[in-house]
């Protein structure tokens, strides 16, 4: 059964899409089968995966609003993962979902059949708490939170954690935080080091050991429609996302229940 992971933070510009695309490509590099769902009307994960968001036949909008199957909507990408794309049409879905029955569970139902096909399903969430984000959190097993180590980061994190707790209490009791990912990190900045220390002090092993640095090649890759692993596999950004994929896999393996010892006579 595949793991469904929402990549989310209510604060914009923290590296959600960069993380979604590059983690998907890195998991593929470790021989995992991956589905990436672009749930942001900006469609940046779609473009960053090498798919033209302006020329889509089907998108996540059709899955959520018209009950199109994932089989009909998914697009194979050059990096090797499958994509459910998005574009500006998804903005209308935010309103249209409000009028539907059981609106919070639309994405969860759509993913039900696909979970057995993939090792990981990653959802790139919009930078706000709306019905799209709620659908992602209801459909997910856990949450990956990318964040910059800056002044307002902890305040925004508190709001997100409160949101997750509300979703957990009402709609998805099994939802948990997989980890917090420090992104765009520059160790030369004293504040970044201070916030990083605060995160590890308060959240312990919920903070990934992997840190994503500020990296020119990582910033350039989306303009070429490529994950950084395809754009420059030797760059620091590529190496760090491969490390994150490895850490994610190890954590998942550690959480698996141990096999029962055979009974002895």
pLDDT bin (cut points 50, 70, 90) of residue 259 is very low
Max CA distance (Å), the chain: 67
Beta-bridged to residue 86, according to DSSP, are none
How far is the C-alpha of 183 from the C-alpha of 241, rounded, in Å? Answer: 11
* Residue range 138-186, pLDDT digits in tens: 999 999 999 998 888 877 788 899 999 999 999 999 999 999 999 999 9
Among 22-26, 199-203, 257-261, the range scoring the smallest mean pLDDT is: 257-261
* Residue range 77-134, pLDDT digits in tens: 999 999 999 999 999 988 899 888 889 999 999 999 899 999 999 999 998 889 999 9
Which CATH number does 3-255 carry?
A: 3.40.50.300
Structural domain boundaries in the chain: 3-255
pTM of the model: 0.94
C-alpha separations of 88 from 54, 64, 110, 154, 230 in Å: 9, 14, 20, 30, 27
* Residue range 180-207, pLDDT digits in tens: 999 999 989 999 999 999 999 989 999 9
Helix 153-170 and helix 131-139: axis angle, to 10°? 70
Asked if residue 120 lies in contact with residue 95, where contact means CB atoms within 8 angstroms, the answer is no
How far is the C-alpha of 23 from the C-alpha of 90, rounded, in Å? Answer: 23
């Amino acid at each position: 059964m595949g793991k469904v992971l929402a990549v989310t933070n209510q604060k914009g510009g923290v590296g959600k899409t960069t993380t979604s695309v590059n983690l998907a490509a890195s998991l593929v590099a470790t021989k995992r089968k991956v589905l990436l769902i672009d749930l942001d009307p900006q469609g940046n994960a779609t473009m960053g995966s090498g798919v033209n968001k302006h020329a889509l036949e089907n998108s996540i909008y059709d899955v959520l609003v018209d009950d199109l199957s994932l089989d009909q909507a998914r697009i194979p990408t050059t990096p090797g993962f499958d994509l459910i794309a998005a574009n500006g049409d998804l903005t209308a879905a935010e309103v249209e979902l409000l009028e539907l029955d059981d609106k919070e569970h639309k994405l969860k139902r759509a993913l039900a059949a696909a979970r057995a096909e993939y090792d990981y399903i990653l959802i790139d969430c919009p930078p706000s708490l709306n019905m799209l984000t709620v659908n992602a959190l209801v459909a997910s097993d856990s949450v990956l939170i990318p964040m910059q180590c800056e002044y307002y980061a902890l305040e925004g994190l508190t709001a997100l954690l409160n949101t997750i707790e509300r979703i957990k209490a009402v709609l998805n009791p099994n939802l948990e935080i997989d980890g917090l990912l420090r992104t765009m990190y520059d160790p030369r900045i004293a504040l970044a080091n201070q916030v990083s220390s605060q995160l590890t002090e308060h959240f312990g092993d919920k903070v990934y050991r992997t840190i994503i640095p500020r990296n020119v090649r990582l910033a350039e890759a989306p303009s070429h429609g490529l994950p950084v692993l395809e754009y420059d596999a030797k760059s620091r950004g590529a190496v760090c996302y491969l490390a994150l994929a490895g850490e994610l896999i190890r954590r998942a393996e550690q959480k698996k229940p141990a096999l029962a010892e055979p009974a002895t006579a």
